[in-house]
Amino acid sequence: MSREFAYVPPHHDSSERYVSDPGPLPGDSVEVTVDLGTEAIGRSWLRTVRDGEQEWVEGKEDGGRLRFQLPCHNNVVNYRFHLETPDGPRWLNGLGLIDYDPGDVHDFRLTTTGQPPAWVGDGVWYQIFPDRFATTGNYRFGDSDGQSEVDGHDVSWVEWSAWDDPVADGPAAMPQLYGGDLDGIIQHLDHIVGLGVKGIYLNPVFPARSNHRYDASTFDRVDPLLGGDEALIRLSKAAHDRGLKIMTDLTLNHTGDRHEWFQAAQADADSDEAAFYYFTDHPGAYEAWLGVSSLPKLDHGSDELRRRYYKGPDSVLGRYLRGPFNMDGWRIDVANMTGRLGSLDMNQDVARQTRATMDDIDPDLWLVGEHFFDASLDAPGDGWHGVMNYAGITRPVVSWLGDFTSLSAFTAGPGQSSRNAVQMARAMDVIRAAMPWSVTKASMSLLASHDTARWRSMAVSDDLALVGFGLLLCLPGTPTFLYGDEVGLTGETSEKARVTMPWDSSKWNKRFLDCYRSMIAVRNNERALQRGGFRWVSITPDAICFMRETADDRLLIRASRGETKPTLVGLVGASRLEPVLNGDAIDVSNGIARLPGDGPDLTIWRLT
């Protein structure tokens, strides 16, 4: 058989299969290994950096692997490998085997500042936009009953809609409420648990003057339109009783202009609260998120703001992580913009202080930041555990399986419109290779959210939508999907995506529901999909193959967007492929397997 088909390049990633301890402490030394594949290697070295200066460690070959001892002295430990190959010297870094001298940006990385909670990445998360998931009808206060205020909260702005009414466009969308509440979620926990998901992520639950509630008027209580504090406590207990994690959403970047802090700030230029915001001409001119006056931006230079909001267990952030609320983490809205204004940049200070507060309360809590772009510089591993991985998952997958113009619903600009899997894989690689493995694992991987068009609206067809969801469950990260995706809900913009959940099952796409359940079940049963490393096996324009590997298990995944020619792939150390999801068993002869050209399709095999 020719080298073209049999060649398997050397491979390393920072997962447990190749690192003796992926979460070292400062001063530890860990063993890292390189799988040689079919490559013949002469001498080899590990190149790392200590206190800004490079160091070299020579490797030893042992049964098809190179072994190195990596000293871990700094918060972030960069390393890559230099290999003598028959074709000349090569570097091995997060982008693979390369024949030029790289910078450090794509080095492998370990962090010594603490790892994400062990459970992060093991389960699939379900995102709920509270106003649109389910209603008990118990909290529809406002014009219909003559009330303009509930528990001190203004509800005169609300425009109530019936559950089946269409979502409004433009400015009319913001005050439109359908009456979804937290007790409604409790009533439908059977549906959520039946999907096989392990966690619920809620968009904000604080009082506000919009259906999205990112313009909070207070952080001291839960919105009475959702049922108030007691409803969140009930939901937390009910979710935990069913084995579900639960977390909600916080805006460290801004408040609403009706927030009690901002009201106090405008009333008195000498108040503590006045230092919470960036006034350019008190009281009417101030910095706001993207210039939206209803969202005044917070100034994290204020010690008092930090103390009240996220520093210490008695802060706002700490309060909802402790009893009786017992949230399991926070998603931080616009984390990429938080603490940044012009030449001022406190972003990492905010991230690290938020993390420190959560670690002090319970190191088993998850902290994830919203980030639409390359988050590698903002997520070195000692602040946000992970990010919403739009750059490394969403944009690449949609460019391959979807109508890329749909991405304009949440990111302006032309973007990559090739829909070629080779370029998709490259886009994934440059993001994954620039972040510590712990951050990749603890990041939300998603195809869509409340801020995008619906996944089914972006995908070219039902078949490709299901291939994409299966791919999401197989890629590194913490898979997260928006309520209703499992029954085929559509929406061409972020506003239209926030449709109400139809509880009349005759309106559901039953094929989607069955496939979502079965694919989630596979992921729940396969540790390699939850915690395994990542390794490309084959990439062609219309089909990709990759492996997820733990220390004692290897899975091969093939995803295609159409029928292709059968593919020969090199699989060192395997004798047979046993089907885990779809497909048939395949014999491996002399390290080579012939994969079928089915498509659109997603198949998972176990290497035995």
Where in the sequence numbering do the catalytic residues fall?
333, 370
Cβ 518 vs Cβ 533: under 8 Å: no
Instruction: Report the alpha-carbon distance of residue 204 to residue 115 in Å, rounded.
Output: 26
566 burial level (CB within 10 Å; 0-12, 13-18, 19+): exposed
Cβ 255 vs Cβ 309: under 8 Å: no
**Residue type at position 488:** G
Residue 162: left (phi > 0), alpha (psi -120 to 50), or beta?
Answer: beta
Cβ 497 vs Cβ 491: under 8 Å: yes
What is the H or E stretch that residue 322 is in? none
Q: How far is CA 327 from the centre of its chain?
A: 18
Residues, the chain, total? Answer: 608
| Angle subtended at Cα 258 by Cα 271 and Cα 313, rounded to the nearest 5 degrees | 65
Please report, for residues 167, 321, 402, 541, the alpha-carbon distance to residue 461 in angstroms, rounded to integers and kept in the order given.
24, 41, 8, 18
Cβ 198 vs Cβ 245: under 8 Å: yes
Residue from 332, 328, 357 nearest 347 by CA: 332
Strands 199-202 and 245-250: parallel
Tell me the two tokens of residue 134: 């389910």
Cβ 491 vs Cβ 457: under 8 Å: yes
DSSP bridge partners of 605: 556, 579
